[in-house]
Amino acid sequence: MCGIVGYVGPQDALDVVLEGLRRLEYRGYDSAGVAVRIGDGASGELASAKKAGKLANLEKLLADSPLPASTIGIGHTRWATHGGPTDRNAHPHLSADGRVAVIHNGIIENFAALRTECERRGVEFASDTDTEVTAHLLAVAYDELPAGPDRFAEAMRVVCRRLEGAFTLVATHADEPDTLVAARRNSPLVVGIGETADGTAEYFLGSDVAAFIAHTREARELGQDQVVEIDRTRGLSVTDFSGAPAEPTAYTVDWDAAAAEKGGYDWFMLKEIAEQPRAVADTLLGRLGENGQLVLDEVRLSDQDLRDIDKVFVVACGTAYHAGLIAKYAIEHWTRIPVEVEVASEFRYRDPVLDRSTLVVVISQSGETMDTLMALRHAKDQKARVLAICNANGSTIPRESDAVLYTHAGPEVAVASTKGFLTQVVACYLVGLFLAQVRGIKYEDEVAAIVEDLRGLPDQVAQVLEQMEPVRALGRSLADSNTILFLGRHVAFPVALEGALKLKELAYIHAEGFAAGELKHGPIALIDEGTPVVVVVPSPRSRESVHGKVVSNIQEVRARGARTIVIAEEGDEDVVPYADHIIRVPRTPTLLAPVVTTVPLQVLACEIADTRGYDVDQPRNLAKSVTVE
């Protein structure tokens, strides 16, 4: 959730760290801070600065009170968990003697006992955070160890063995002129390895590769319960918490710094909406092998394991949960296996019935969503099989799963997911087809035919995007609304939920999504004169006359004064008499329709929020990746 940056190399560390923090602003934060190590030789000093609010507040503080030049430094953007978003609670946190500075992402669950221990030693705490205990413990551990090249890393290992919870820690020490140490448990940490124009080595740490993508594409992903030591002369060293050598996962980032810039759009979200045709196409690329078999990215399960599956759970949070709801329709239709969709934060606490014949599909854009990760681990403990859908190669959730399908959305900077959602939906379709193929429910030519329909989606999304100017105008006219309702049936129901969520996230408007068939069971009481109601209409070709039922729902809300906004496919004339506004989308196979019907709702929410004067990319109180429970 928080942004973490570290640097060791010949460049000015403060410049590198601040640049990295700017690139991580999309993660959401409420304060920011930096620390640098200054002085020559083995005995130096630490200098730090931190400020509540946006990064601009910190930059103003640094302009008024500059820190000394340094080539080793750390930086942090914080999203408050323990202690409010104040200057004193911002990171970095220093040890009592000022010799250790620490930044932290996550939650240390046993911090209260550790804090009491420190206070009994006479330590006076300067913040309300759980993080500060690690700075004091690191200073004590360091002082108690003999001098040596591994001293700081060993101090970090000593401390980590005492910590409970989820954490990424990065620390610098005044007595270590060339070294940063870092550790991770259940929270992301990536190392970047580069060199300057003159061939001098430099090293980066980040909670996300965006922190250092302007400098290098060569990355190392730390595994669970590992400590990394970065030394200017000795390079990179990784161990587990007990000190045994470990090998980080090496990979090359396949996007560049320009991919994280706005590209001329007012908002990153608008840019990412426009990138959806390419993102969907990339997610589909290379999925059908030469033999006609569907291909996933990593499968550590046998075909027999998959044939033995008799129940599927789809587990996710927020927008990814809505992708899972769409997956249920497709997977059940194509495989005839019963599917349940669960909110990840509730999954393990209700004691679901799982065994070796259960497949749990976990969906996470970042691969680090804590609720989803904990659900995954619960499923593994119960011997269930786990398949991950993820956008982040090398992240924790894919590494701990039995099979993986990576989406190829590229970096998504805006907090509210758009292209991440569409690629997750497409990935869910691929998982359903893969299961149907392995289990012999569908022949290769049937799978190939559906894949061909999927390959048509990028052009259809592009067609929708070309027709969005009237939707933007509609959004501006709706900006003063207090309530907007969304209705849908069949696969359009999750689309309605997603449309309502986007509006809540971005425009802070009361918005609700309902299954249209539930309208008369209560929600119709919300309809008042002029209440905007967005209705996602299924194709007239959909099953069991559900189209006609939704048209009747439109009539019902309009008769009670609603302002009806109808999303319908081209050629559907039945809705025309009852729609105040019609948004047309291309004709698409029923199960695949969410990929095109979602797009206008994204644009609508973005335009309403922009008209209301809100920050579209960084909505209040939200973070891009939720890495705590």
Active site residues: 2, 624
Q: Do residues 132 and 92 make contact, with C-beta atoms less than 8 angstroms apart?
A: no
Rounded distance between C-alpha atoms, residue 319 and residue 388, angstroms: 16
For residue 401, which of 376, 424, 429, 364 has the smallest C-alpha distance? 376
- Left (φ > 0), alpha (ψ -120 to 50) or beta: where does 560 sit? alpha
Query: Within a 10 A sphere around the Cβ of 71, how many other Cβ atoms?
Result: 20
Rounded distance between C-alpha atoms, residue 176 and residue 174, angstroms: 6
For residue 176, which of 154, 138, 149 has the smallest C-alpha distance? 149
**Backbone dihedral angles phi then psi of residue 229, each to the nearest 5 degrees:** -110, 125
Q: What angle in degrees, to the nearest 10, is found between the helix axes of 457-465 and 276-284? A: 180
Rounded distance between C-alpha atoms, residue 208 and residue 625, angstroms: 11
Rounded distance between C-alpha atoms, residue 340 and residue 379, angstroms: 14
Cis peptide before 277 (omega within 30 of 0): no
In the numeric block, which tokens belong to residue 276? 């959806």
Rounded distance between C-alpha atoms, residue 76 and residue 105, angstroms: 9
For residue 168, which of 221, 219, 128 has the smallest C-alpha distance? 221
b/e per residue 227-256 (b: at least 16 CB within 10 A): bbbbbbeeeebbbebeeeebebeeeebeee
Q: Do residues 327 and 428 make contact, with C-beta atoms less than 8 angstroms apart?
A: yes
In the numeric block, which tokens belong to residue 41? 């030789």
Q: Do residues 77 and 2 make contact, with C-beta atoms less than 8 angstroms apart?
A: yes
Element (H, E) at 502: helix 492-507
Element (H, E) at 169: strand 165-173
